Structures are given as structure tokens and as C-alpha cells.
A and B are shown apart, each in its own frame.
Chain A
Amino acid sequence: MSELDLVPPPAGPDLLDRPSPTSATDADQPRGTRPRSHPLLRPTSLLALLVVLLVVLAAMAPGLFAHASPYDSDFAHKLQAPGGSHWFGTDQLGRDVFSRVVHGTSLTLRATLVAVAIAFGVGATLGLLAGYLRGLVDTVVMRFVDILLAIPSLLLALAVVTALGPGTIKVAVAVGVSSVATFARITRAEVLRVRSSDFVEAATVIGLRRSAVLARHVLPNAAGPAVALATLELGTAIIAVSSLSFLGFGAPLPQPEWGSLVAEGRDYLATAWWLAAMPCSVIVAVVLSANRISRAVGKTGRR
């Protein structure tokens, strides 16, 4: 679960809105911190970046990583534990699991990117319009968002699958649509905050047109949290997509989507644990990395 709409700030009945003199200028007491390097350069972030890069590479050129074919069966070597020739072992048809995982990368990644693109593109735009234009647009958009939020994302995706049949892209679109709501909310909240800042009003006073104020001042300052959320959403989308393919609604077999690989391995849990464990570990590693990067991006914005 990513950003949440927390308690709205209390409507202060204060007499004064001027900041007290000593708090606005350089603080009497600096809030001390230990000296730290740039968040993106810390060891865990670098590791996360590396993992993500490997994954992207594997998606674009699987042949680089896996030489065996993901589809060829080899019954003589079925259900072998992970070892030298088969890093992730072999499955019940003798196929190389590592190669299947690698080739599944592009399927999962494509779906994830589609989902995030839809969620960010549609959601952030809706949030921006709602927050900047207010009034009727705001009300309509936010009611729509409320409705979207009421249906759990998994169920929404399942409803789409029920109507249209299974398939990676359909699943991706469904996951994306269900995340639109969160993006819209975050972006709207940020736009509202920025919009009421003095410097945005000052832009009007110095003579900028409304569109220029929006583009030059509101957007750049409001974009931060939405971008951070987008990186976080990558992890969430991967989990959603693989969950759906685990249930059997992703790409049809024998295409090696990660989730369906885990589902296949489930039948052999007692005897050949690596069939499920390997794809699972890859999923966890990628999601952890995406989250790590997202947190680092978030911290950079705040410096």
C-alpha cells in the first residue's frame, strides 16, 4: 500500500497568520543530523539499481543471460535440483527453470510498465486537473476516484478478465486502471498545497498567464510525490501482475510468466521446492529493489 490520504490539517482559528519572528529566520537551534551521502549512492540503493538494470537487460535481450530454450523439454533431466548446469534446476518437463524465468522477464516487465504508465498518465492528469481547476471538475473527478477505490484492484482486474478473457496486456490495463485512484489523490493533494503557496500567487502578480503559472510553477513543484509514487507503483504492479498470472489469468501456458511459473511449481512443493521458490525469489528481489529506489528518489526530492 502506497501513500494514504491522512487526516486533513485542522482549520486553525488562530488570530495571526504571521510567523513568529524567530522561527522564520535561521533557526536558533539547528536540527542536527549525522552527515550523510546522497541517498541514491548508498550501498543498498546501488545494489537495487543493479538488480533493476539486470532485469531490464534480461527483458530486452534474454539470450544474453540464458542459452537454453525455455520451451524444449528434456525428460531425461526432469526435476533436477539447482546445480552447475541448471542454475535454477529443471521442471517436471525437464525445462531449464532459469531460462524460463529469464524469458518470463519481458512478459512481466511489459505488463508492469503498461500498468504504471496508465496509472501515472491518467491518474496524475486527473489529479492535476482536479486540483488546479477545482469546482465541478474537482467534484466529478474525485467522486469517480472514490468509486474506483471501492473496488479492490484484484477484483477489478478479475472482472476485466471475466469479460474479456485472460491475457497479459488485459491484466496490465486492469491493474493500471485500479491504481489511477491513488495517483489522482496524491497529485491532487500536492497540487492543492502548491497552488495555495505565495510564490504561485506571486507568479500571477508579476503578470504570468494562467497556463504559464501552471506549467512553470505548479507542475514542477507538485510532480515530486507523483514520481516517487510511480517508482513505488512498479513494485506493486509486479506483485499484482504475477498474482493474476499465478491464479491462471495471465499469458497462457507454456509462456513463462513469473506468476504462472510459481503456480506450476506449487504442485511440486513437497518434492521440488525450487520450481516455486526460484521465481518467487526473483519477484521479491525485483520488488524490493524497486521499493528501495523509490525511497531513495523520495528522499532526494526532499533535500
Chain B
Amino acid sequence: MTLLRIRGLSVGYRTRHGIVDGARDVDLDVSEGEIVALVGESGSGKTTTAHSILQMLPPAAIVRSGSVRLEGRDLLTLSERQLRAVRGARVAHVPQDPGTSLDPLRRIGPQVAEVLRIHGLASRREAAGEAVELLRAAGLDRPETRARQYPHQLSGGMRQRVLVAIALAALPRLVVADEPTSALDVTVQKKVLDHLSGLVREHGTSVLLITHDLAVAAERADRVVVMREGRVVESGPGSQVLDRPQHAYTRQLIADDPSLTVAHRGRRPSDGGTAPRPLLEVSGLRKEFRAGARGAAPVVAVDDVSLTVARGRTLAIVGESGSGKSTTARLVLRLERPDAGTVVLDGTDVTALRGRELRAVRQRLQYVYQNPFASLDPRQSVGDIVSEPLRAFGLLDSAAQRRARANELVDRVALPGSVLARRPAELSGGQRQRVAIARALALGPELVVCDEPVSALDVTVQAQILRLLVTLQEESGLSYLFISHDLAVVRSIADDVLVMQAGRVVERGTVDAIFESPQHDYTRELLSSIPLHGRVR
């Protein structure tokens, strides 16, 4: 029986430039007990559709046409009072970001109990007890203690479980899960999704899973619905959509998603015995940070890490948060001073360099940041940004020369010359990341450290940037130190892989070795947490 039936839903947004479409003529069905995944990139309309079901659209939204029938009733026609009876009780919401979705000033228990009390399902005393049981069912250890704690005392994964508990508290018929695991580590993600599936099966609840990750969708859902630019372009059972995609966009999504399709790099043979000196040699690196309270033991972020990067090759460092991979990268770049160990760049020990000597090294060693929105000065034009490294070292004195070089650089990253006069705010995330890469190339470095350079980007854009990085490497023999949490992305760009956990290196090897015969338990755990791992060859 159909629990949710959306027909012809069209939603627009009032903006400074007129009315922008959010969803266009969307049809969607969810049956009882079914898990449906709504997949799309940003701007696809999936979030708009989800918010329409909950009737939580922002004030600027206008519903132009269509109906959203839940259990036969059209939610678009209900009054606010009627909707309040629906929200939380008939249809519930698991929000995206566990970091900001809980009231920071109230304890966990009352926040869970609030659902029951709003819908009159329990008195105050009963609700408190019920809340503890709900937390236990959601998989939290020691739920009595957790109920008395505050959100900031719980980890991200635990907070997400609390949000799941809140959603399921009143036993709704439909749960709308909005990217419930994007902000979590992949091993935690797996656990939370497993648990959600289990709870849902137990109660026969339906789930509408909103996600940008096609692999997660295919793995977890009974049916997959693909959206693009406000429209539904394809729908069907997960395996069918993956194996026999009908629409060109679906095919592109599959091709661009590194966890579904391995981009076959030209496999370059690793150097034999005639290996010239490696470009980067790091040994015994260690870095400690003092924890907040005095007297507490310092946090060891990087513990005895050694690695080498050969010329023209890519070494990827893989790990979850807290693994120390980013700190290692920053130590290599000398943005921090190591407490122990050495960093040797092409035979020169740069570990203890300061001042002018350190600046000189910067010409050979550059950095691409993760967040393209924060790594470019919002007040500078793209031309200035890209040529600033040249100014810093006094190369190319005349403005004309600098302009010419800037043109060259943006051309290499496949951006049009017109972009030079624009400001970062006028560019998309992918375009900004290209600018950041162009800036990194300006001085002609030998090693570029990339810290999660594509994590903040849509899948299709991500694939473009990765291809660009590979092309640049082939053209100029660059080496990369590539930091990522995403093993699938790493597979498409790395030659060698280093796996880190809690500050230590747990495994190293060529990319094929790591993927085909992982040695360490943690590596195996990481691999098995990739959605649909095992399906892809």
C-alpha cells in the first residue's frame, strides 16, 4: 500500500534574481515498509522535496502546484495545527548535521522526551523513562548516563543516534533521513546506517533516504530515485539502476563515482633498482598538542611517521578523523614544527629551517586546501590570487608579464581567461578549487600537497578535478602527497598508499596491494565500510 504519494510537485524560491526552481513536476511513491533513496547532487531538488513532505520549507519558497499525500491526506492543504499533529508523529526527520541539530543547552534525555510530550504520548515522568529506552534501542551505551549529558559531551556518531531516537520516538510511519551520515567517518557511517535499517525493519517504518552518494543509496535502499535540476530522471530498484541505467545523467553519476567505477590510470611501473633519490623523505615524525586543561596528557597527533614520495608519483595518506593525516601534511609543509623527526626535500633537510631559507623552499612545495571557499581571499580577483606567488618572490616584474603568466595558469586548469577579473564569490566550488590549483602551480613546484581537495565537491565535479590533477601530473612530472578519508577517491589517483590510525602508520603499499590484499585489520575495516565494496573491480 502506498504510504506517500507525491504528484506533480513544483516548488520555486524567491531570490534577488527572480524565482528560481527548486523542484519541477516531481512524482514520488513510497510504500509501507519500503526504503526509498532520493539521490542527486546539489541543486537537484532532493532537499526541497524532503522539506515539502515535512512542510518545513523556508519562507522564500512557493509551492506552485502538486500534491503530497501521506496516508491519503494532502499535506499541502492542511492547517498549521493539523500539520503539527503530523510532524514527529506520522512523519519524522533525521537531520543532516549532528553537530548543530541538537539544542546545546539542554540535556539529551529531555530532548528525546519532548517528542512524546508534544504529542501527548506520555506524562513527564513516563517520558523520561521512555527516553532512556529509546536511547538504548538506538544503540547508545549506558543510556541512563547519556540522557543526563549534554550534546557537546557526545561524539558525532552518538549524536546521530540520538537524532535517530528522536525521529523514531513516536513510531512514525515515514522517516525522512536527510543525508544522515555525510558528516561522519565512513566506519561510523556504516554502523549508524546498519542500525537505522535494523530499527526500521523491526517496526515496519518506511524510510526516504536523501543522499548524494549513489553507492550508499544502492546498498541500503529497495528503490532508488535519481533527481537532477529539480526533476526526477530515473527510478527503480537499486541493482537495476546501477546495472542498467536508463538516463544519461545516471550513467554519468555512476562513471564519476569512484566507489562505483575505478578510473583506470595508466599503470606506471614503480621504479626498479635504479631509483634516483626520492623527492621527499620523512622519517620518525612526531607532533604533540597540549590538551585543553593543564595537567592533562598531551595529545599525540603524529607518532613516528615515516614516508617517501618519489618523483612524478602520488602517495596518498588515508585515515579517518583524528588519524593525524592532516597534521602530517602540515608538518611536511612546515606549517607546524615537528617535535621529533626529519623532513628532507630532495636531499635538503628542511626540518629546522626558518625565515628566508624556509621561504625559499616554498617555491618547490605547495598546498591545495580542502575548502575552496576559505582558501581564497574574498577581496582579491582571480588574476591577483594566481599571480601573487610570483609577486611574493619578485619574479616577473612587469604587470604585463604577470598577466600573461596568470592567463597561462588558468588555461592549464581549464578555466576561461574571463575568470581572471572575477572574484571568488562569483565562482562555483569546482571553479574555485581550480583557481587554488592554478595558484599552487604558479611557482612551478615539484611537490604539491593536496588536503582532501575534492571532499567538499559534488561527485561529477570531483571527478573532473581528479582528472585534472592526473593530467597535470603527467604533463609536468609533479609529485603529489594526497590526503583523503575516501578510499574510493584514493584508488583513482594514487600510486602508493599509507594508512594511518590514531597518529600511527598501520599499513603501507601500492594501491593495488592495499585494495586487493589488505594486511591490517583497520585497513580491512575501512575497505569493508565502503558502500558496495566487493561489487566493484
Asked whether, in the complex, the Cβ of A198 is within 8 Å of the Cβ of B335, the reply is no
Tell me whether B359 and A24 are in contact (CB under 8 A). no
Set of chain A residues within 8 Å of B322, measured between Cβ atoms: 15
**Distance between Cα atoms of A235 and B299 in the complex (Å):** 50
Chain B nearest CB from A212 CB (Å) reads: 7
A72 at interface, CB cutoff 8 A = no
B100: nearest chain-A partner, CB-CB:
A12
B212 CB contacts on chain A under 8 angstroms: 21-22
Compute how far the CA of A282 lies from the CA of B118 in the bound complex, rounded to whole angstroms: 54
Shortest B39–chain A CB gap in Å is: 11
For the complex, give the distance between the alpha carbons of A25 and B518 in Å: 34
**CA A29 to CA B320, docked complex, whole Å:** 30
Quick check: is A36 within 8 A (CB to CB) of the other chain? yes
Q: Using CB atoms, name the residue of chain A closest to B211.
A: A22
| Chain B residues numbered 425-446 whose CB sits less than 8 Å from any CB in chain A | 428-430, 436, 439, 442-443
Q: Which residues in window 354-406 of B have CB below 8 A to A?
A: 359, 362-363, 366-367, 369-379, 388-389, 392-393
Is the beta-carbon distance between A15 and B379 smaller than 8 angstroms?
no
A25-B392 in contact (CB<8A): no
Which B residues are CB-close (under 8 A) to A199?
374-378
CB pair A10 B152 closer than 8 Å = yes
- B173 neighbours in A (Cβ, 8 Å): none
Contact with B along A176-195 (1 / 0, CB 8 A): 00000000000000000000
Chain A neighbourhood of B461, CB < 8 A: 25
Q: Which residues of A contact B372 (CB under 8 A)?
A: 24
Residues A207 and B362 in contact in the complex (CB < 8 Å), given A17-B321, A25-B428, A27-B42: yes
A67 touches B (CB below 8 Å)? no
Q: Collect the chain B residues with CB atoms within 8 Å of residue A33's CB.
A: 14-16, 60
How many of A's residues come within 8 Å of B, CB to CB? 43
Contact with B along A46-75 (1 / 0, CB 8 A): 000000000000000000000000000000
- Interface size of B by CB at 8 A reads 76
Residues of A within 8 A of B176 (CB): none
Q: B104 near A: Cβ within 8 Å?
A: yes
Query: Is the beta-carbon distance between A207 and B155 smaller than 8 angstroms?
Result: no
Residue with the highest number of chain A CB atoms closer than 10 Å, among B15, B374, B485: B374
Interface residues of B in 320-355 (CB under 8 A from A): 320-322, 333, 335
B123 at the interface (CB under 8 A from A): no
Contact of A32 among B58, B104, B456 (CB under 8 A): B58
B362 touches A13 (CB 8 A): no
A36: chain B residues within 8 A (beta carbon): 16
Q: Which of B45, B183, B439 has the most CB of A within 10 A?
A: B183
Contact A217 B377 (CB under 8 A): yes
List residues of chain A with CB within 8 A of the CB of B456.
18-19, 21, 24-25
Which residues of chain A have C-beta atoms less than 8 A from B182's C-beta? 20-22
Question: Which of A15, A24, A202 interacts with B369 by CB under 8 Å?
Answer: A202
The 4 closest A-B pairs by CB, nearest first: A32-B60, A24-B456, A206-B389, A207-B392
* 17 A-B interface contacts by CB (under 8 A): A13-B153, A16-B321, A19-B455, A20-B96, A22-B212, A25-B42, A26-B42, A32-B59, A32-B60, A33-B14, A33-B16, A198-B371, A198-B374, A199-B378, A202-B436, A202-B439, A207-B389
A: residues with CB less than 8 A from B are 10-36, 197-199, 201-209, 212, 217, 220-221
Interface residues of B (CB under 8 A from A): 13-17, 20, 22, 41-48, 51, 58-61, 96-97, 99, 104, 152-153, 155-157, 179, 182-185, 188, 212, 292, 320-322, 333, 335, 359, 362-363, 366-367, 369-379, 388-389, 392-393, 428-430, 436, 439, 442-443, 452, 455-458, 461, 485
